[in-house]
Structure 1
């Protein structure tokens, strides 16, 4: 595909996404229907689409319209590329520019690509860091790997990656974190990955697991396990009896195979957990605002009503999951959110309705720390 043809494909995909279709689904369908597109083409089109979604407001302003065409035009102008050289209408190129394609520089919160209703709340929550965080969310997220301590050290994992043509550097957020600096698209097919030496996991998620008071012999529950990334990280850190639960067990369908590959044991619970645990981790459903670089659709889909629904779910999880902790045990509440409404406000409300808990530690990370945004509250049961 020519560069101009890639732009046309991205415009078509973005129009479908803007109409309500999930980006991943549209990209997958396009790739299956476009046998002429090689792997380089597919990666390039994907990058165009996700760059446009991260910068939807500012690109729409620069491109003159919140359409696929407008977003791609805005992206070119933002990058200092003259659209006229690609929008020629020749072959598979987009149609030539017209008077309808005139844009203007974005101002205010549009320039930061944050919805107006949410920007003031984020500004209040993050203070002087707000603009830097918003700017970070406009760009692609780094690729991180977790060195699996059950299989070897971070240094040995790094050496194995280098032999597979993948360059990675230690990252300060976690002693297991590796930042991939070259060869990221080789990771999933590489021997270090298929052999369980490394797992794809953001450094902030790794830092959350590092902060947990894990010790050999503990009975541990990952209450909102999802795909099980934190379950595997916990199992690699200590010899614990680890259980994984999720409200939708289908999310955990790959966890047994992943645990076997990693050389750790995780018991996947098909139903509700029973008994008491020394440590319960609840990585609760949230706005995902800390990971909008990876899932930018969420930035535009979030509404005040949806945020309130999420807060209600979080409150319910706080009450249910904490009830599974034995006296003097630990409860860890986590979100990949930047919003106080989902983080400290939830913990304050929880502590106000119970006298059984003491807040021992908080961890707050934002994208300007180098990885995703994450929040952790570590509480100990005192009665």
Structure 2
């Protein structure tokens, strides 16, 4: 496919996504219907779609329309691409620009539009982080997320992994957020099938997620419960650092389906417990609640989520977070730790949740809190440590 044909494909996909189709589903359906598109074409189109969705609002302003075509015109203008070479109608490329399209488009307004944020959310971000930090975080969300690896130091070392990956054509460098983190500088796409990944010596994990895992306190030989385990990435990171009894739980057990095999590759034992069986497990030294949230810290990876969040959905999430914290607290041993984590940057989901929990449980103590934002080099995360009486 020519570069122009890829842009035409991206326009078609963006129109489907703007109409409500999930991004990944739209990409899959398009690929099945266009078998002639090679892997490089599919990857390039995917990049165009995600780049456009991250900056959807500002690009629509520059391009003059909140449509797939308008957004891709905006992207071409923002990247100083020759419009006539792309919008030419040649080689399955998009049709030439009309006189109206040539005249349309303005610089995005300062604030929410320029930073690609919904109007109602921008004041919330400013109140949560402060205006300067909020602007830096939102600007970081406009770009692609870096690819980070977690090195399983039970199995190998960072220099060994770097040398192995370099020999296979992938360049990496240590990341300052965590001593186990590597940032992939080049060759990221070939890593999925790299022996280091397949053997469990390396896992894909955001550097800030690793930093949060590093902060989780757990005594050697202690009992650990990941209450909202999902895929279990933080459980594996913690298990690589501390020898302990590792138990994973999730309200939707299917999310943990791959965890036992991943743990075995990493040289760990993780026991998955379904909700109905958790009460018989007794207490834990550390219980981690990686709570369902807006995902605002990881919107680079899921830009559609940035545009789909509503005030009503945020209210639902904060209510759920409070309920989960109260339930998880029942499994903490006396003087044990309840760790509350979100991949959000919004105070309603973070500090306000901690304050609410302490108000409901005045015999508990809040100690450490930490907020990471994408401006720190990883995803946005919040961490809080609560101590049981």
Q: Structure 2 length normalisation: TM-score? A: 0.96
Q: Residue 354 of structure 1 corresponds to which residue in structure 2?
A: 361
Q: Residue 164 of structure 1 corresponds to which residue in structure 2?
A: 168
Residues 68-147 of structure 1: pairs in structure 2 closer than 5 A: 68-101=68-101, 102-108=104-110, 109-127=112-130, 128-147=132-151
- Residues 150 and 264 in structure 1, CA contact (< 8 A), matched pair in contact too: no
Give the gaps of 5 or more residues in structure 1. Answer: none
Deviation readout 1:328-381 (Å, 9 max, x if unpaired): 101100000000110001100110111231112111100111100100001111
Distance (whole Å) between structure 1 residues aligned to residue 247 and residue 129 of structure 2: 35
Number of positions where the alignment pairs a residue of Structure 1 with one of Structure 2: 382
2:353 is aligned with 1:333: no
Deviation readout 1:244-268 (Å, 9 max, x if unpaired): 1111111111111111111111111
C-alpha RMSD of matched pairs (Å): 1.0
TM-aligned CA deviation for residue 89 of structure 1 = 1.3
- Residues 196 and 202 in structure 2, CA contact (< 8 A), matched pair in contact too: yes
Q: Residue 179 of structure 2 corresponds to which residue in structure 1?
A: 175
Distance (whole Å) between structure 1 residues aligned to residue 384 and residue 174 of structure 2: 26
Deviation readout 1:180-219 (Å, 9 max, x if unpaired): 0011001111111111110000001100110011222111
2:221 is aligned with 1:217: yes
Distance (whole Å) between structure 1 residues aligned to residue 357 and residue 274 of structure 2: 28
Detail structure 1 runs of 4+ shifted over 4 Å in the superposition. none
Residues 1-383 of structure 1: pairs in structure 2 closer than 5 A: 1-101=1-101, 102-108=104-110, 109-127=112-130, 128-272=132-276, 273-274=278-279, 275-382=282-389
Deviation readout 1:217-260 (Å, 9 max, x if unpaired): 11100001111111111111111111111111111111111111
What is the SS of the residue equivalent to 1:210? Answer: helix
What is the SS of the residue equivalent to 1:110? Answer: coil
- Residues 365 and 373 in structure 1, CA contact (< 8 A), matched pair in contact too: yes
Distance (whole Å) between structure 2 residues aligned to residue 216 and residue 266 of structure 1: 16
- Residues 329 and 338 in structure 2, CA contact (< 8 A), matched pair in contact too: yes
Distance (whole Å) between structure 1 residues aligned to residue 274 and residue 26 of structure 2: 32
TM-aligned CA deviation for residue 291 of structure 1 = 0.6
Distance (whole Å) between structure 2 residues aligned to residue 74 and residue 225 of structure 1: 40
